[in-house]
Amino acid sequence: MPGIRLNRTKNAIIRSLPMHPRVMGVLRPIWEERGRPLKGRVFLNRFGKPYQDTRKANIPGGNPIKNQHATACQRAGIEDFTVHDWRHHWASYCVMAGIDLITIINMGGWKSLRMFQRYSSVSIDHMQESINRLS
């Protein structure tokens, strides 16, 4: 199964993760268009160059990924949602989908259950559905 390799992580641990089929469906045409490279970056800027690692450089005009995300949110009418919020969103949806916590923690790269708990939350609807399962 195709996966995603994370070479540069916050805690400096290289890891690979499985890729959801829908993500693969979006990324495969990009990969094929680029000649099916076996290494390199997936997302390129308008000049065909990889985005700079903003953790290590002061980029004129600000972080390009944050800027593009803000533009996309503005066009979609979404307010107060940052790039980092996707991590919280992903963790919460994994919990609500019933994925076990150990798997979510490993995929998300959290070092402890306590840190993971800061990232995940569940909706009121999910809590209601859960309580309704009691007989």
Angle at 76 between CA 95 and CA 5, to 5 degrees: 50
Model confidence at 1: pLDDT above 70: no
Model confidence pLDDT, tens digit, residues 24-37: 899 889 889 888 88
d(CA 87, CA 94): 11
Model confidence pLDDT, tens digit, residues 69-117: 899 999 999 999 998 898 888 999 899 899 999 999 988 888 888 888 8
Determine the residue type at 118.
R
- Using the structure block, give the residue that is written with the tokens 């996707």: 86
108, with CB counted inside 10 A (0-12, 13-18, 19+), is: middle
